[in-house]
């Protein structure tokens, strides 16, 4: 009798403890925006219901662009230094992966991580070289790096195939649906990684650098390290996206290195809302759908598309996610931005 | 000898492009990534006025349509500044992104209307002249006197006229000149018009000797930026010196090493100057 009540008490405390941990966990979870998971889940469920190959292809493209926009955002959205040469990482990794696959016979499972790591290392190098630059200088230096790679793709035509690019890459998986799910899993992984990173000590420090680099430095933060780290992460993830894209299309051409791709990525992320990760995810997906929808007027597609992007930037320079409509409604705000953190918790590393 | 003359011609052309770019950066703080677009539009509008509207083969008509092209590009640039840039001029990200998006948009429109293969415009002066055995297209030699007239005029305008002095004042200190009663908005508007006019003039002049294609906006922009950085952002004499340096560097590269590497020179200049001497040769502003 005595022992049984003791045991009961034990279980009650155990249960309460579990409840506390779970509650804690869920309240921690609330700081992450729900919107991102809703978008990702919707994107994941759709192909299972529809099964239309065309739609799956469109979703795949949207997912890839969302990866580009999100990985651009972790550097630029959080430090406000505009990277105008993002095609450097996308196309560079794409070409590297394609060359490894076609000439060396590496399977995609090896060539994609290898080229992504190479893009990350390139990110460290460029980040280190452009560390002191700010504003327009930084933007144009990154643009110049991408321009050099673009020119090299034509000069080294024996390897890169010049205008034609490299064709005949091994496809990711057997069919478009499995291709899509692979990209989707990678996208979800990247989203979770970035959202955790941006809510961690590292993200807070990047925001501090954005607010005032000198003050951050005099508070004893090694700002150079964090900027290079963000650059490397951004480059690595763009490399993952670029290499996946090359294999999904089974082709890589100079378009993936061109300035217009860099600009499109910047626009997608800006229209979504810089510095939020969810915004670029949303922007990347919605605008890719718009791009595909415009295929009914194929001849005018790019003109209308860039025109619409300009209108978006003009009407909502802070991005869709930062519209007054969302900021003023507490529910929408919580849906898109997550619960506001209690001060101090973000400094847990 | 050929290196000297071709380098001089290139330098003259580049200085026309780069001076406007530097001017609008130092006055408005705008990094105008649509600068190459004004250059492209200068060439296209000359073609439109000359071949599509006037249908005449007379030389005077060509000069007239060239002037019309420059004026219309200037008007367009003023409109763009007034409606798109003015409201968020202090946000560097906004101005850079919107001007670059505009550049993309205009180049797509042009390739939609005129096709990617390009069009061409006849020269002001036909034929070529040979100087010590080197054949040089006569039209290219026009760049030299035109630049030699325009740049001193610009200098006089900035230093001697009231409006020019206000532009100069704004470029030195925006808030200071605002407090002194200078109409900063007007000065910035005039500067963006002026800079577009110079770019359009360069584009219109270059139209006969290079094919007019929708992609022609990109490299002038990169070169203008390379020159601006090499000369030091905000320094007009620096940018003129840097234009000739870049012109010679390109010509020497294409003659001695490889034609293909010409376009790489300006990219390499951007990277190396930014990394090793971000202030440029005559720069007084560093950021």
Check whether B210 has a pLDDT greater than 70.
Answer: yes
B63-101 per-residue burial string, b: 16 or more CB within 10 A, e: under 16: eebbebbbebbbebbbebbeebbeeebeebbbbbbbbbb
Between the CA of residue A30 and those of A25, A232, A348, what are the distances in Å? 9, 28, 16
Helix (H) or strand (E) holding B273: helix B262-276
Backbone phi and psi for residue A167, each to the nearest 5 degrees, phi listed first: -110, 175
Q: Which of A165-169, A188-192, B87-91 has the lowest mean pLDDT?
A: B87-91
The per-residue pLDDT for range A295-324, each reduced to its tens digit, is 888 888 888 998 999 899 888 888 888 887
- What does the domain layout of chain A look like in residue ranges? 32-341
DSSP secondary structure letter of residue A317 = T
Which band of pLDDT confidence, cut at 50, 70 and 90, is reported for residue B113? confident
Give the C-alpha separation, A49 to A114, whole Å. 34
Choose among A139, A151, A310: nearest Cβ to B96. Answer: A139
Architecture field, domain A32-341: Orthogonal Bundle (1.10)
- CA B208 → CA A36, B51, B137, B259, distances in Å? 53, 13, 10, 21
Phi and psi dihedrals of A305, rounded to 5? -60, -50
Q: How far is it, in rounded angstroms, from Cα A179 to Cα A182? A: 5
Please report which confidence band the pLDDT of residue B133 belongs to, taking 50, 70 and 90 as the band edges.
low
- The pLDDT value given to residue B213: 83
- The residues in B 235-274 lying below 8 A from A, measured between CB atoms, are 260-261, 263-264, 267-268, 270-271, 274
Percent of chain A with pLDDT over 90: 32
Q: What residue spans define the domains of chain B? A: 2-276
Residue A119 scores a pLDDT above 90: yes
Does A332 lie at the interface with B, CB-CB under 8 angstroms? no
The overall average pLDDT reported for chain A is 86
Cα–Cα distance between A86 and A258 in angstroms, integer?
A: 9
Token pair, residue B117, equals 């293969």
Average pLDDT across chain B, whole number: 84
CB–CB of B71/B177 below 8 Å? no
Q: Average pLDDT for residues B133-156, to the nearest whole number?
A: 83
Lowest mean pLDDT among A157-166, B119-128, B237-246: B119-128
**pLDDT-derived band of residue A349, with 50, 70 and 90 as boundaries?**
very low
Cβ proximity of A129 and A145 under 8 Å: no
* Of A132, A300, A314, Cβ closest to residue B278: A132
Query: Which pLDDT band, with edges at 50, 70 and 90, does A342 fall under?
Result: very low
Write down the pLDDT at residue A93.
Answer: 94
What is residue A344's predicted lDDT score, i.e. its pLDDT? Answer: 43
Which carries the bigger pLDDT value, residue B211 or residue B187? B187
- How much of chain B, in percent, has pLDDT values that exceed 70? 93
The pLDDT of A234-252, averaged and rounded, is 93
What residues 260-289 of chain A have any CB closer than 8 A to a CB of chain B?
A: 260, 263, 266-267, 270, 274
Partner-chain contact A270 B97, CB within 8 Å: yes
Taking the Cβ of residue B136 and every Cβ of chain A, the question of whether any pair is shorter than 8 Å is answered with no
Strands B134-137 and B128-131, sheet pairing? antiparallel
Stretch A125-129: mean pLDDT: 91
In 3-state terms chain B splits into helix, strand, coil percentages (rounded to 5) of 75, 5, 20
pLDDT greater than 50 at residue A343: no
Q: What is the pLDDT at residue B198?
A: 93
Any idea of the CA torsion for A223, A278, A305, A327, to the nearest 10 degrees?
A: -100
3-state percent breakdown (helix, strand, coil) of chain A, nearest 5: 80, 0, 20
User: B121 or A220, which is more confident?
Assistant: A220
Answer yes or no: do A263 and B104 touch at CB < 8 A. Answer: yes
Concatenating the DSSP letter of every residue in A244-290 gives: HHHHHHTEE-GGGGSHHHHHHHHHHHHHH-TTSSHHHHHHHHHHHHH
- Cα separation, A264 vs A271, whole angstroms: 10
pLDDT tens column, B170-188:
888 888 888 988 888 889 9
Query: Touching check for B88 and chain A: CB below 8 Å?
Result: yes
Whether chain B has a CB inside 8 Å of the CB on A151: the answer is yes
Q: Is the model more confident about B36 or about A348?
A: B36
Residues in chain B within 8 Å Cβ distance of A317 = 88, 91, 94
| Record: fold of B2-276 | ABC transporter involved in vitamin B12 uptake, BtuC (1.10.3470)
Compute the distance between CA of residue B136 and CA of residue B142 in angstroms, rounded to an integer.
11
Taken in order B70, B72, B76, B79, is the CA torsion positive or negative? positive
Residues in chain B closer than 8 A to A128 (CB atoms): none
CB A4 within 8 A of CB A246: no
Q: Show Cβ contacts of residue B252 under 8 Å, excluding neighbours closer than 6 positions.
A: B3, B7
List the alpha helices (DSSP H) in B29-81: 35-47, 59-80
Structure tokens at B253: 């590269």
Of the candidates B241, B244, B195, which has an alpha carbon nearest to the alpha carbon of residue B221?
B195
């Amino acid at each position: 009798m005595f022992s049984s009540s003791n045991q009961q008490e034990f279980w009650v405390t155990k249960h309460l403890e579990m409840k506390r941990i779970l509650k804690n966990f869920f309240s921690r979870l609330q700081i992450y925006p729900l919107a991102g998971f809703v978008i990702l889940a919707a994107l994941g469920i759709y192909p299972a219901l529809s099964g239309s190959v065309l739609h799956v292809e469109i979703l795949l493209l949207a997912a890839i662009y969302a990866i580009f926009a999100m990985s651009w955002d972790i550097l630029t959205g959080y430090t406000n230094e505009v990277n105008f040469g993002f095609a450097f990482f996308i196309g560079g990794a794409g070409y590297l992966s394609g060359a490894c696959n076609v000439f060396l016979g590496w399977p995609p499972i090896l060539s994609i991580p290898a080229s992504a790591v190479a893009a990350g290392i390139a990110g460290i190098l460029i980040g280190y070289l452009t560390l002191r630059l700010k504003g327009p200088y930084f933007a144009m230096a990154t643009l110049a790096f991408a321009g050099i790679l673009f020119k090299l793709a034509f000069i080294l035509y024996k390897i890169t195939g010049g205008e034609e690019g490299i064709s005949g890459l091994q496809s990711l998986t057997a069919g478009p649906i499995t291709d899509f799910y692979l990209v989707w899993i990678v996208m979800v992984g990247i989203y979770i990684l970035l959202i955790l990173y941006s809510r961690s000590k590292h993200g807070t420090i990047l925001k501090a650098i954005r607010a005032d680099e000198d003050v951050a430095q005099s508070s004893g933060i090694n700002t150079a390290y964090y900027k290079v780290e963000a650059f490397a992460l951004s480059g690595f993830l763009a490399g993952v996206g670029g290499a996946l894209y090359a294999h999904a299309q089974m082709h890589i051409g100079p378009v993936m290195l061109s300035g217009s791709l860099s600009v499109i990525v910047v626009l997608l992320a800006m229209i979504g809302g810089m510095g939020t990760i969810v915004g670029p995810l949303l922007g990347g997906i919605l605008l890719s759908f718009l791009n595909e929808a415009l295929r009914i007027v194929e001849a005018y597609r790019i003109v209308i598309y860039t025109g619409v992007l300009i209108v978006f930037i003009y009407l909502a320079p802070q991005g869709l996610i930062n519209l007054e409509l969302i900021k003023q409604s507490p529910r929408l705000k919580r849906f898109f931005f997550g619960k506001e953190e209690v001060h101090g918790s973000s400094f847990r590393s | 000898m050929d290196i000297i003359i071709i380098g001089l011609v290139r330098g003259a052309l580049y200085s026309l492009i780069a001076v406007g770019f530097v001017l609008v950066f130092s006055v408005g703080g705008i990094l105008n990534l649509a600068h190459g677009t004004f250059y492209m539009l200068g060439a296209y509008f000359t073609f439109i006025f000359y071949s599509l509207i006037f249908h005449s083969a007379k030389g005077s008509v060509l000069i007239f349509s060239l002037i019309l092209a420059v004026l219309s590009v200037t008007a367009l640039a003023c409109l763009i500044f007034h409606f798109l840039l003015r409201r968020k001029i202090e946000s560097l990200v906004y101005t850079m992104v919107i001007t670059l998006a505009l550049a993309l948009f205009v180049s797509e429109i042009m390739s939609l209307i005129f096709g990617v293969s390009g069009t061409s415009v006849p020269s002001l002066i036909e034929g070529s002249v040979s100087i010590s055995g080197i054949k040089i297209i006569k039209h290219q030699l026009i760049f030299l006197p035109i630049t030699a007239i325009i740049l001193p005029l610009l200098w006089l305008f900035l230093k001697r006229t009231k409006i020019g002095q206000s532009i100069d004042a704004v470029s030195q200190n925006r808030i200071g000149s605002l407090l002194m009663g200078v109409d900063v908005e007007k000065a910035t508007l005039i500067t963006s018009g002026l800079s577009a006019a110079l770019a359009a003039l360069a584009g219109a002049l270059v139209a006969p000797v290079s094919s007019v294609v929708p992609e022609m906006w990109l490299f002038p922009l990169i070169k203008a930026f390379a020159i601006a950085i090499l000369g030091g952002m905000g320094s007009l004499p620096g940018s003129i010196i840097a234009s000739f340096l870049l012109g010679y560097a390109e010509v020497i590269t294409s003659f001695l090493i490889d034609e293909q590497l010409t376009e790489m020179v300006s990219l390499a200049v951007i990277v190396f100057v930014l990394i090793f001497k971000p202030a440029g040769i005559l720069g007084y502003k560093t950021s």
